[in-house]
A and B are shown apart, each in its own frame.
Chain A
Amino acid sequence: MITLLDLFSIAAIGAGTFFFVAGTVGLLRFPDSLTRLHALTKADNLGLGMVALGLIPRADNPLSALKLIVIWALVMLSGASTSQLIGRALRRGHK
C-alpha cells in the first residue's frame, strides 16, 4: 500500500533525478566551462537536495535523517566553493 509519505518520497526523488539528468545534459551540451559549471551546480545543489529530502521519511531513525541533511549541506558547501575555485582558474586563463 502506498502511503502519503511514500508518494512524497517518490515525487521528491523523481524531481531530484530530473535535475541530475538536466544537469548532466547541460554538462555535455553547454558550449564553455563556465556554463557547464552552472549546469553542474544545479544537479549538485537542487538534485541532491531533492533526493535527500525524499529519503528523509525512509530513514531508520532521526539520526540517519540528520546525516542525510548534513551530507547535502556538505556537498553544497564543497560544490559552491570548488565552483568558485574553478571559475577563478578559468578567468585566469588556465584550461
Chain B
Amino acid sequence: MNLLPLLDIILASLVIGVAIFTITARDLFASVVGYVAYGLLLAFVWIRLYAPDVALTEAAVGSGVTGVLLITAGQRLGALKNVAPDAEPGFILKLLTCLLAALVAGALGAAILMLPDPPPSLAPEAAAAADGAGAGLGNPITAVLMSYRSLDTMLEKIVLILAVIGVWSVGADKAWGGAPAPLRQSRPYPPMVFLAQMLAPVGVIIGIHIFWTGADAPGGAFQGGALLAAMWMFTMMARLVDPPRVDAQWLRLALVAGPAVFLVTGLAGEVMAGSFFAYPHGLAKPIILIIEAFMVLSIAAALPILVAGPPSDRKDQ
C-alpha cells in the first residue's frame, strides 16, 4: 500500500478527533488549545491539497490570531463569571441550538454530497482573468484576489473595520476615547520581555517578506499582515508598549488606509481603464503592490486592536 494516502487518512482522522475534542472539552482553555491545534492540523491538510497560500492563512489567522482572540475572550468571560452567576440555558434554547447546528451541518453535507460531476467551478475563468488583464503577478492566487475578486477582497477588509467598531462599542461611555486595558496587569516577566525584544524585529522582517514575496510565490497581504499583527501583540503582552488610545488619529488612519486606497484605486480604474477595479495595462503589478502594502498596514493595525478590546476607564499604574 502506498504510504501517502495512509498518512492523509491519519491526518484527516486527527483533524476530526481534535475537532471533537474541541467541542466536547469542558474546560474553556482546553477547548481553545484544541482549536489552535485543529487550525495547525488544517494547515497541513491545505498543504496536502497543494494550497500553500490557504495553509499560511490558516496557520497565521485561523490558528494564531484567532487563538489569541479566543484566549483573551475566555479570560474576560472568566472574570465576568465571578460577578454574575451564569444562568444555565433552558431546555428549549438547548434544543433550538442543537437543531440549528444540525441543520447547518446537514445542509453543508448535503451540498457536498449532491455536487454534480464534474463540480461547477469558476477556476478556469478566474485563471484566465488572472492571466489576462490583471496580470503581471507570478502568484495566481494573489492575482485572483486582487484582480478577479477585488471587490470581495476589499469588503473583507471593511469587515475587519466593522469588527473593530463592534469591539469598541461595548466599552463604557465614560471610557470612550481612552486606551484599552493593557494585555497584562502584572509586572512583565523577563523571559517574556526577552522573547518580544528578540522576536519582534525578526517577525516584522518575515511579515514584510511574506507580503512582498506574495506577488510571485505563496504569501500575500493577509498572511504578512497577520504576522506583523502578532508581533505588535507580542510587544503589548510584554508591556513594551501599551494599547493605543482609540481616538488616536494615526490608529484610525492605519485602520482605514487599506480599504480606502483600494476603493480609490477601484474608482480610478473606472475612469482610466474603463471599469470599476480595472487596472491600466502594464501598471497592474505596481498598483496591486501599493494597494496590498496599505492593506498590510490595516490588517496589522486591526487584529491587535481586536485583541486589545474595548477602551477601559480602569486607571493603570
Q: Which residues on A are within 8 Å of B, measured CB to CB?
A: 70, 74, 77-78, 81-82, 84-85, 88
- Interface of chain B, main secondary structure: helix
- Interface of chain A, main secondary structure: helix
B189 within 8 A of partner (CB): yes
Closest beta carbon of chain A to B269's beta carbon, Å: 36
Taking residues whose C-beta sits less than 8 angstroms from the other chain, chain B's interface range is under 10
B7 within 8 A of partner (CB): no
A78/B199 in contact, CB under 8 A: yes
Chain A residue, CB-CB nearest to B30 = A95
- Which chain B positions have C-beta within 8 A of A81? 191-192, 194-195
Chain B residue, CB-CB nearest to A74 = B202
A85/B189 in contact, CB under 8 A: yes
B111 within 8 A of partner (CB): no
- Which chain B positions have C-beta within 8 A of A70? 202
B113 within 8 A of partner (CB): no
B159 within 8 A of partner (CB): no
Q: How far, in whole Å, are A85 and B194 apart by their CA atoms in the complex?
A: 11
B199/A77 in contact, CB under 8 A: yes
Closest beta carbon of chain B to A21's beta carbon, Å: 16
Q: How far, in whole Å, are A74 and B189 apart by their CA atoms in the complex?
A: 20
B112 within 8 A of partner (CB): no
Q: How far, in whole Å, are A74 and B202 apart by their CA atoms in the complex?
A: 9
Q: How far, in whole Å, are A85 and B237 apart by their CA atoms in the complex?
A: 12
